[in-house]
Structure 1
């Protein structure tokens, strides 16, 4: 057995100093999305094509400055390195977009559910109002009833005036019986 050092407990792990490297994942994500977007453009493909043609042209025809002879191993290494970084950056950008889409979908579902419940509530309220209005008199109904009543009263008055027409003089005797 080894002797214990004073002040050190065996049940606690020993702390070691490690350098901390803190990166904000959102900042890394934003820049990776920018790089991934750029890698998917025609501009990037055109630039890459020009670089490859110049690279191959210089290494085939400029004999004095050949830094990467025919099998173009250095160019192949550059493409491999680019692919090794591009694939994770594209995956990171896709994951971030998927997370945004998921949050947006959840918000859309919640909004649709709220709209549906609001619509159902309004439909119930409208049905209640229709039932209540069915028992009350509307302005148009009252106006029609009053017009009908006026027509009926006018007709009755007309009938009465025809019965007692002032042009038809009542028959009266000019002869007074008391005078005889």
Structure 2
């Protein structure tokens, strides 16, 4: 068994260094987007026009460096090569954008579902509150019930008063002994 010291186990391994060429899809996609964005600018068109003008002037002007005569086949080859690389780079950039759009769409859809669920929950809660408030005693209802109770008590008191008054008016009650009278 190998003999390890504690410091060897506590210390993380140091990588072999940084990779110089990273060819994963995301990295290439980022660079493709940068190139595609640059191809779509006025700055690119300006510099490409300057390059073509200088190329043509150097080759037509009769200088000693007449490396691409009049039909400019080498310039045409350079533009064909550029187009051959530009088209896939632009397509790759579009794919990257579609991937980002898909992630955004999925996030929006998830947020919309959460919002819908929250709205349905709040609607149910509001319906429950409305039902609870419908069974709840309101101030006007309580006032009306107390008024009915007071009217009922007044009627009961009036009937009691009438009954007491009718008993007092009974002639037999006048002959009844009162306090201090002696009964025979």
Tell me if both proteins adopt one fold, taking TM over 0.5 as the criterion: yes
| Equivalent residue runs for 1:75-154 within 5 Å | 75-138=75-138, 141=140, 145=143
Q: Which runs of 5+ in 2 are unaligned?
A: 1-20, 155-184
* TM-score normalized by the length of structure 2: 0.63
Which consecutive aligned stretches of 4+ in structure 1 deviate over 3 angstroms post-superposition? none
Partner of 2:49: 49
- Distance in 2, matches of 1:138 and 1:39, equals 72
Quote the offset at 1:85 in angstroms: 0.7
Partner of 1:38: 38
Q: Which runs of 5+ in 1 are unaligned?
A: 1-20, 157-180
Quote the offset at 1:142 in angstroms: 6.8
- Distance in 2, matches of 1:103 and 1:41, equals 27
Partner of 1:74: 74
RMSD of Structure 2 on Structure 1 (CA):
2.3
Give the number of the structure whose residues are more often helix, by fraction: 2
